[in-house]
Amino acid sequence: MSSITLKSYAERAANQPNAAAKALLECMARKQTNLSVSVDVTNKQDLLDVCDAVGPNVCLVKTHIDIVEDFDMDLVEQLTALSKKHDFLIFEDRKFADIGNTASLQYSSGVHKIASWSHITNAHLVPGPSVISGLAKVGVPLNRGLLLLAEMSSAGALTKGSYTQACVDEAKKDTTGFVCGFIAMSRVDEKEGPNTEKDLLILTPGVGLDVKGDSLGQQYRTPDQVIRESGCDVIIVGRGIYGPLMTEEGKKDKKAAFVKVREQGERYKKAGWEAYLARIGQK
């Protein structure tokens, strides 16, 4: 049996049992993009405007909804409308890490009601597999998907070795059908040869074409290193795309900044897709 990395996204979509992962793979194949934009801006209108600008080029919008200062449920409604308009899914990067009961309440309730609008979310396995069961109780009936944080992109991350392996083992033996992949820097499920048990997605942050890192430990690799060399499936790009909005110039002339944001989206989409075609031998 061959590696998951040699299969097309469309082929994998056809055999994917998790509804959210299936929808994501189908969207990637349909739009020819493995780009996820991480929209880490702190006001509602900027968040919506970035999604509208890059929407045509992405398969997935990643949010940190708790950083939005003027959050309200109208934001969620508008974001959902944009996800339909541009054909992308939504991933709230919540990184749940509490006991099952608390995680399930954090996922379903509170101000943000994440499960009601986010197709995919993620969790640390630090509390043990009960965090999966707690979240699954809420997410499975809604056809959501869960990614385990098997590896992080920041310097000195403790997500390595036996911890990473435990994430892989839990994902493979998950009986809820909720776990559909990982946040990871490499093909963690194929460290010991092809994974023939269960198709799992690998989404990878820490992607940049112009710089190697930031002043707070982030480390960047190129789309080619992530998709072709490391065998990951989705590139997650934040400041590399919306960065033009954050400069003094961008704050003064938002219209011009959004033109650049759109261009960066196209650039990362192209780089990610070329790396994928090279990986599956179609280029």
Q: Which residues are annotated as a binding site for substrate?
A: 40, 62, 153, 218, 238-239
The owner of tokens 């996820």 is 36
Among 93, 189, 199, 224, binds ligand 5BU (CB under 6 A): 93
Question: Considering only 71-79, 105-113, 230-238, 271-279, which stretch makes contact with ligand 5BU by CB under 6 A?
Answer: 230-238
Nearer to ligand 5BU, 13 or 271 (CB): 271
E runs forming strands in the chain: 35-38, 60-63, 89-96, 120-123, 145-149, 179-183, 201-204, 234-237
Asked if 206 interacts with ligand 5BU (CB under 6 A), we say yes
Question: Which residues are catalytic, by number?
Answer: 93, 95, 98
Of the listed pieces 46-54, 133-141, 150-158, 160-168, which binds ligand 5BU according to CB under 6 A?
A: 150-158
| Binding-site positions | 40, 62, 153, 218, 238-239
Least distance from ligand 5BU to the Cβ atom of residue 85, Å? 23
Does residue 41 belong to the site contacting ligand 5BU (CB under 6 A)?
no
Q: Is the dihedral of CA 13, 202, 2, 58 positive or negative?
A: positive
Could you tell me how many residues of this chain bind ligand 5BU (CB under 6 A)?
Answer: 17
For 133, the enclosing helix (H) or strand (E) is helix 130-139
Query: Which one of 100, 134, 231, 238 is in contact with ligand 5BU (CB under 6 A)?
Result: 238
Residue 92 found at the interface with ligand 5BU (CB under 6 A): no
Burial class from Cβ neighbours inside 10 Å (0-12, 13-18, 19+) for residue 277 reads middle
Under the binding rule (CB under 6 A), the answer on residue 68 touching ligand 5BU is no
For residue 55, the one-letter residue type is G
Rule CB under 6 A: is residue 237 a binding residue for ligand 5BU?
Answer: yes
Q: How far apart are CA 175 and CA 98, in angstroms?
A: 20
Q: Are 234 and 203 contacting, i.e. CB atoms less than 8 angstroms apart?
A: yes
Nearer to ligand 5BU, 29 or 112 (CB): 112
Residue 11 CB, shortest distance to ligand 5BU, in Å, is 27
Residue with the two structure tokens 């092809």: 194
Nearer to ligand 5BU, 1 or 216 (CB): 216
Give per-residue burial for 43-68: e unless 16+ CB within 10 Å, then b. ebebbbbbbebbbbbbbbbbbbbeeb
Instruction: Examine residue 244 and tell whether it contacts ligand 5BU (CB under 6 A).
Output: no
Question: Within 32-99, where are the H helices?
Answer: 44-54, 73-86
The footprint of ligand 5BU (CB under 6 A) covers 38, 40, 64, 93, 149, 152-154, 183, 205-206, 218, 236-240
